Every structure is written in C-alpha cells, then in structure tokens.
Amino acid sequence: MTQQSEPNPILAPFGPPVELADARKAIAAVHKAAADKGWVVCAAVVDLGGKLIALERMDHAMMASAEVALAKAVTAISFKRSSGQLQEAILSGFTPMMALTLTGGVPLDGGLPIMRDGRIIGALGVSGQSPKDDGEMAAIGVAAIS
C-alpha cells in the first residue's frame, strides 16, 4: 500500500479549526517524545486566526519557550508553511520581506501547519531545544493528529 503525501499547505484551503482534544493530543505527543530524549520543551497549538488553543510548558523548560512556541505556531499559520522554511530562506541569503514584517512571528524551525483531509486546521509550535530539534518535535506532534 502506498502512502499519499499531504498537499502543499501553501496551496491548501482552510478547514474547520483544530479542536481542543486534538491540540492536547499533539502536545502530549511532543512532550512524550521530548521526555524520551531527556529534553524539556514548550508546545503551543493555534487556530486558523493564530489564536491560542492550548499551550503547555514542561517542568524546567525556559519561560521564554512559551512565547517562542506560540510565535512559531503563529508564523506557520500566517505563512501557511513551516517556520523552518523561512529560516532556510534567510540562511540561504534570501530574506523574504514578509518574514521581516510579521508581528510575533519567528523564522526558526519548530512551527508547522496542521493539516487534515487536505485542509489547514491550525498550527503547532515547539520551543526549548535547537531549532532543528524543535522542528523534529513539531513533526511528531502534527503526525499524532493528522
């Protein structure tokens, strides 16, 4: 059986917003994966308008991680792409002007749109480790509910 890939979120329509139960499930998956690696992180899920649905900061995670996780999620929903794609664009020498004007957004890996049935339903942001590790954790959270 072949697995179908999700459509490109940049072209995807918005769907019904992510529900609290799914937001909690995604965050729980992130925190379990982080704990398994001995990491502490914060994870945030936002709705289609970038408004907070759920946020949890693991014990001993930096207080700033809550703000950064939320900003990564807002970035992912606002740009309809991973916050890591903006990071890569900037590191490669191309600075999209839109990345410089997003209030509260951050071009660091760790923010992903959440998709279901080919539609964007929200976004997840993770912060607390390196951007690469945060991106890995975000992918685990999104996979838990997609």
Strand partners for 82 = none
All structural domains of the chain with their residue ranges:
20-145
| Structural class in CATH, domain 20-145 | alpha beta
Q: What is the mean pLDDT of residues 29-57?
A: 98
Which has more confidence, 12 or 9?
12
79-129 per-position pLDDT tens digit: 899 999 888 877 777 766 666 666 667 889 999 999 999 999 999 999 999
Q: Is residue 128 a contact partner of residue 33, using CB atoms and an 8 Å limit?
A: no
The C-alpha angle 8, 9, 12, rounded to 5 degrees, equals: 95
